[in-house]
Amino acid sequence: MRVSIIGTGYVGLTTGVCLGFLGHKVTCIDSDQNKIALLRAGKTPIYEPFLTELMAEARPNLSFCGEYAGSLQDAEVVFIAVGTPPSADGSPDLRYLSEAARGIGQHFEGDFLVVVNKSTVPIGSGNWVGSLVRESYEQQHGRKANGHFSVASNPEFLREGTALHDSLFPDRVVIGSDNNRALQVLYSLYRPILDQTFAAPTYLARPEGVGAVPLISTDLASAELIKYAANAFLATKISYINEIGQLAEKVGADISQVAKGIGLDARIGTRFLQAGIGWGGSCFGKDTAALVATAREYSLSMPIVEAAREINRRQRERVVEKLLAELKILKGRTIGLLGLAFKPNTDDLREAPAIDIARKLIERGCKVKVHDPVAMDRFEREYPDLSVVCCESPEEVADEADALALITEWQDYRELDWEVMASRMRSPLVLDGRNALDRARLERFGFRYLGIAG
Ligand code: UGA
């Protein structure tokens, strides 16, 4: 099928590359000409495991374009995968979404186009996008748009760091549409994924037991709400275990054991129960805020989601409080942060706890040293004013440090020679912000070990 994708961020690019790999003819459109130049050269503007490799395999089916003209006139499906960043008041900024909708209306010349919202958009946006597309089509072409367009919602559930795996082997596919023709087009598009009939690349092998993927076919509003409800549930699950972690710490319980003990109940599940400094990233914070804001428009409050947000905010403060309790005086101390990205296997720094924690420590008069295996370049570009010492290795962070705090649980940090790390520090104190390190081993090397919970 002929597919166009507007926006080459995590969602757009991953979708484009996967659909290209499955044999569809895909045009990825982005107004950022630097990104387009990079992509044409076979490079990816984001760090995502195996994306470059899969893009190379899909290359014969992929093209990249810096403008709408010439890139969607005969498409059968167009995905809108542009950013919806939070604006000053917390509500999503829909500027790029409306530009994309207008661009589609202006440039489409075929008979029938399925316009798919893949960006996380406020509930009700499907109808709004439809009216923008039709309006600009009618202005441009001077004829009625009736019957030429159908808007569908197809929310994305991929996680950064495992984006390709999540797209090729999803737990489910959700499609919201009230138009049969549009539904048929999207079934055909996703058929290889729904039936799992494609040959998986060796570096992204199909996990054992993955068979046909469930399809939820529903109305627009339900599909839009599924996205928010899923992210808010996952965020709440993490905040819940972090809340239990605080009690675990008081009563002397081990939160990892508690999480395992409850998670093995199939009704609860073991995933997203890793206690620590909480969630970051561009999704959970933004989507929980948007859900609360939408509910407010209907005079509803969402106390569970609000509490999850508050607990998450407090987890970051606890890092500073714990170091203060242990070191007594923070002014003049050197604190090393291991990890900047909001989670491992990405260089994404949006809403990263490390940034907040570094700021709080600097306010308290600490000297802050930082390292990340992948995100250093991005950090120096995006936070030139944050006065921290950027280090080339974790060992350099340890030099003369009064304490180290593990902020992102990169595998590299688990495998460090912690004996050497201890020998380079002023005092071997480690705060394991992700409960990811081997406490007994670190204590053998003379570390005083602090968990974030339990
Ligand atoms: C999240 C969702 O998991 C995806 O399903 C969704 O598609 C995506 O948002 C989105 O809306 O675009 P992502 O933000 O990439 O994906 O990353 P997650 O793996 O969900 O992690 C989010 C944060 O939660 C990270 O900071 C991670 O460190 C933290 N986390 C995760 C925990 O603190 N504990 C856990 O047990 C799991």
268/252 Cα distance (integer angstroms): 23
Which positions ≥6 away from 267 have C-beta within 8 Å? Answer: none
Could you tell me if the CB of 403 is within 6 A of ligand 1? no
Where is 91: in which H helix or E strand? none
Q: Which residue has the tokens 């760091």?
A: 161
pLDDT at 57 over 60: yes
Total residue count of the chain as it appears in this document: 454
Contact yes or no for 113/102 (Cβ under 8 A):
no
Atom of ligand 1 nearest to the CA of 227: 11
Q: Which residue has the tokens 């996205």?
A: 227
Residue nearest to atom 30 of ligand 1 (CA): 279
Read off the pLDDT of each residue in 150-155 and give the average, rounded to a whole number.
97
Atom of ligand 1 nearest to the CA of 159: 15
pLDDT at 454 over 60: no
What's the Cα-to-Cα distance from 7 to each of 36, 65, 68, 80, rounded to whole Å? 10, 10, 11, 7
> Which of 171, 243, 272 has the most ligand 1 atoms within 8 A of CB, as the residue to mutate?
272
- The yes-or-no answer on residue 283 being catalytic is yes
Helix (H, G, I), strand (E, B) or coil at 29: strand
pLDDT at 86: 80
What is the band of 321 on the pLDDT scale with cuts at 50, 70, 90?
very high
Atom of ligand 1 nearest to the CA of 282: 14
Q: State percent of the chain over pLDDT 70.
A: 100
What is the band of 289 on the pLDDT scale with cuts at 50, 70, 90?
very high
> How many C-beta neighbours within 10 Å does residue 296 have?
11
> Which of 84, 165, 277, 283 has the most ligand 1 atoms within 8 A of CB, as the residue to mutate?
283
Where is 13: in which H helix or E strand? helix 10-21
Q: Mean pLDDT lowest for which of 84-88, 248-252, 294-298? A: 84-88
What is the band of 89 on the pLDDT scale with cuts at 50, 70, 90?
confident
pLDDT at 120: 87
Q: State percent of the chain over pLDDT 90.
A: 93
302/348 Cα distance (integer angstroms): 29
Residue nearest to atom 12 of ligand 1 (CA): 283
Atom of ligand 1 nearest to the CA of 230: 5
Could you tell me if the CB of 407 is within 6 A of ligand 1? no
pLDDT at 90: 67
Per-residue three-class SS string for 252-275: CCCHHHHHHHHHCCCCCCCCCCCC
Could you tell me if the CB of 409 is within 6 A of ligand 1? no
Atom of ligand 1 nearest to the CA of 409: 28
329 burial (CB, 10 Å; 0-12 / 13-18 / 19+) is exposed
> Which position among 18, 283, 366, 391 bears the catalytic label?
283
Mean pLDDT across the chain, nearest whole number?
95
> Which of 227, 343, 351, 434 has the most ligand 1 atoms within 8 A of CB, as the residue to mutate?
343
**How confident is the model over 218-245, as pLDDT tens digits?**
999 999 999 999 999 999 999 999 999 9
Per-residue three-class SS string for 115-147: EEECCCCCCCHHHHHHHHHHHHHHHHHCCCCCC
Q: What are 29's strand-pairing partners?
A: 6, 65
User: Is the model more confident about 84 or about 353?
Assistant: 353
385/194 Cα distance (integer angstroms): 47
Q: How far does the centroid of ligand 1 lie from the alpha carbon of residue 283, in Å?
A: 8
72/25 Cα distance (integer angstroms): 12
pLDDT at 91 over 90: no
pLDDT at 422 over 70: yes
Residue nearest to atom 1 of ligand 1 (CA): 159
Q: How far does the centroid of ligand 1 lie from the alpha carbon of residue 448, in Å?
A: 30
pLDDT at 348 over 70: yes
Find the largest Cα–Cα distance for the chain: 77
Atom of ligand 1 nearest to the CA of 272: 36
Which positions ≥6 away from 428 have C-beta within 8 Å? Answer: 421, 422, 445, 446, 447, 448
Query: Which of these, 272, 76, 245, 326, lies nearest to 159 by C-alpha position?
Result: 272
Q: How far does the centroid of ligand 1 lie from the alpha carbon of residue 10, in Å?
A: 14
pLDDT at 400: 97
DSSP 207: P
Backbone angles phi, psi at 408, to 5 degrees: -125, 130
Contact yes or no for 106/115 (Cβ under 8 A):
no
Kindly list the strands in the beta sheet with 334-338, ordered across the sheet, starting from the edge strand earlier in the chain: 389-390, 367-371, 334-338, 403-406, 429-432, 448-451
Contact yes or no for 339/353 (Cβ under 8 A):
no
Could you tell me if the CB of 414 is within 6 A of ligand 1? no
Could you tell me if the CB of 372 is within 6 A of ligand 1? no
Q: How far does the centroid of ligand 1 lie from the alpha carbon of residue 449, in Å?
A: 26
Q: How far does the centroid of ligand 1 lie from the alpha carbon of residue 408, in Å?
A: 13
Which positions ≥6 away from 249 have C-beta within 8 Å? Answer: 255, 451, 453, 454
